[in-house]
Structure 1
Amino acid sequence: MEDPQIINPGTSIATPKVIIMMADYGHDPTETAVPWAAFKTAGYEISIATQNSQVPRCDNKMLQGVTQKLLSHQKQGATKDVVAKYKQMQQSEEMLHPLSWSAPDFSLDPYDLVLFPGGHEKSVRQVIESPTVHKLMLDYFPKTKKPSHKVVAAVCHGVMVLSESKDANGRSIIHDCVTTALPTRFEKTAYWGTRAFLGDYYKTFGHGSENVQESVTKALASPAQFKSSLNPGPFVVEDENYNYISARYPGDAVLFAEEIIKLFESFHKLV
């Protein structure tokens, strides 16, 4: 097998190396398993990292039981297809043997794509609030500036990992980027539509906390940089200056994965 062509140090575009950064529990199964399955089909090399190599589990409320059925009706819970993909992901080598993103020798440099899935279950705060992950992204994100072939992708609450990754002056790594994330109207609709039987389940930081859109927008140079659509159909945003792709919620997951793959295909065309 021929050696892949190296464009930038640590970046192989022949077989992209992906790392999915996860909390121990709580990520959205659609936003995790759909990109995972698409990258598997595309032949990408995939790794998963959690804080201390704990095998991650996605939000069980979205995967089974009464809550899965109720949330599916609201286009939030996992569909049968997603559940099947998630079960395959659970048995994968990368899921069963994740890396530790808190290990002293851990680095994101070997990877071509760093992916942050979303999820509103409170446990995902483990990655959103992690000083270690913030430090890793402060180092990695500038390396995605075009014409680099390194990529960062985030969906829903995953975008908050980036908005919360700030330098010593309090400037977020996506300060100058265009981005999307979970729109306030989507978040409020899900919250109030489930509050009677799930309490503040849909508020990651608890009842009364600011919405994701508000939190992300505050980290940008201008509110105009936050792009969104209230149409439930697929919607993603790609920045012009950085290889950064973002999406809003589970309904965007298929297009989100497709656009990431297209971006890597465009790198091949430049070789």
Structure 2
Amino acid sequence: MEDPQITSTGVATSTPKVLIVMADYGHDPTETAVPYTAFKNAGYDVKFATETGRPPRCDKRMLEGFTQKLLGAKKEVVSLYKKMAVSDEMRHPLSWSAPGFAFAPFDLVLFPGGHDKAVRQLIDSPVVHALVLDYFPQTRKPSRKVVAAVCHGVMALSESKDAAGRSVLRDCVTTALPAKFEQAAYWSTRAVLGDYYKTYGHGSDDVETAIKKVLADPSQFKASLNPGPFTVEDEHYNYISARYPGDAEVFAEEIIKLFESFNRIV
């Protein structure tokens, strides 16, 4: 964060630098636009990054047509997305594959989710894995650096493994898209959308199963089947995770609260 300034009330304030890491296409608009808007409203310095610096586009199925009306972003979120899409930071993102690029200059690195197969560009990227391996240890408390991920975005972390095959999430508690949510969406839409809700195709592991495989103990995966907002914060790292678009607002609020906790009375 920028050097803190002390206000007349003795409170240290600073401006967090946020990076939203994305594939070129396919992320969920709610999981992207809701946190983005919350961070901008809080006065944060927000940047985006894609592989080559091309402007990202969120999943159009969640933004238009019958899929939007039945399963996609709410009307108000579509409005937030349209504003975000024309912002200078989204039209001119950084490149996470550029030589010398690192997450280190940022105070928060956020990974939104999305079902479209195109998000595998991010989840499967060895470049992203190396960036995460470098950054995630820097979030160990009492650090002021933060990682946050929602839904499939958690897989960008779970798939980031060291030379011994250990994921950065191995010793963390986390949530992500619950298997029952994923299966319900898949089977209820399969006749119309095929395997859209299976990012790695029919027969592949659910997100929950894939993540549990890299944890030291499967009990570290925390899930709630209540549709109300649900987030998880790790005890040892400044790492916050959420399950799906319904968590996005509280997910952003919890991240902002964490940064506020860094700015205690001096």
Aligned residue in 1 for 2:3 = 4
Query: TM-score scaled to structure 2, two decimals?
Result: 0.95
Q: In the aligned structure 2, how far is the partner of 1:119 from the partner of 1:107?
A: 23
Aligned residue in 2 for 1:193 = 188
* 1:270 positional shift: 6.1
One-letter amino acid of the counterpart of residue 124, structure 1? V
The answer as to whether partners of 1:13 and 1:264 remain within 8 angstroms in 2 is: no
Query: What CA RMSD, in Å, does the superposition of the two structures yield over aligned residues?
Result: 1.3
Segments of 4+ moved more than 4 angstroms: none
Q: In the aligned structure 2, how far is the partner of 1:54 from the partner of 1:22?
A: 10
One-letter amino acid of the counterpart of residue 213, structure 1? E
Aligned residue in 2 for 1:144 = 139
Aligned residue in 1 for 2:215 = 220
* 1:5 positional shift: 2.5
2:96 to 86, 92, 101: 101
- Give unpaired runs (5+ residues) of structure 1: 7-11, 72-76
**1:244/1:270 Cα in 2 relative to 1: closer, same or farther (>3 Å)?**
farther
* SS in structure 2 of the partner of residue 207 of structure 1: coil
CA distances 1:105-139 after superposition (whole Å, capped 9, x unpaired): 21111100000000010000000000000000000
Within-5 A mapping of 1:82-231 = 82-231=77-226
**1:35/1:143 Cα in 2 relative to 1: closer, same or farther (>3 Å)?**
same
- Give unpaired runs (5+ residues) of structure 2: 6-11
One-letter amino acid of the counterpart of residue 45, structure 1? D
Q: In the aligned structure 2, how far is the partner of 1:128 from the partner of 1:103?
A: 17
The answer as to whether partners of 1:22 and 1:56 remain within 8 angstroms in 2 is: yes
One-letter amino acid of the counterpart of residue 59, structure 1? D
Q: In the aligned structure 1, how far is the partner of 2:229 from the partner of 2:187?
A: 23
Query: TM-score scaled to structure 1, two decimals?
Result: 0.94
Count of residues in Structure 1 that have an aligned counterpart in Structure 2: 259
Aligned residue in 1 for 2:65 = 65
* 1:13 positional shift: 6.4
Within-5 A mapping of 1:6-25 = 14-25=14-25
CA distances 1:225-261 after superposition (whole Å, capped 9, x unpaired): 0001000000000000000000000000000000000
Aligned residue in 1 for 2:40 = 40
**1:239/1:36 Cα in 2 relative to 1: closer, same or farther (>3 Å)?**
same
**1:139/1:13 Cα in 2 relative to 1: closer, same or farther (>3 Å)?**
farther
Aligned residue in 1 for 2:229 = 234
* SS in structure 1 of the partner of residue 165 of structure 2: coil
* SS in structure 1 of the partner of residue 263 of structure 2: helix
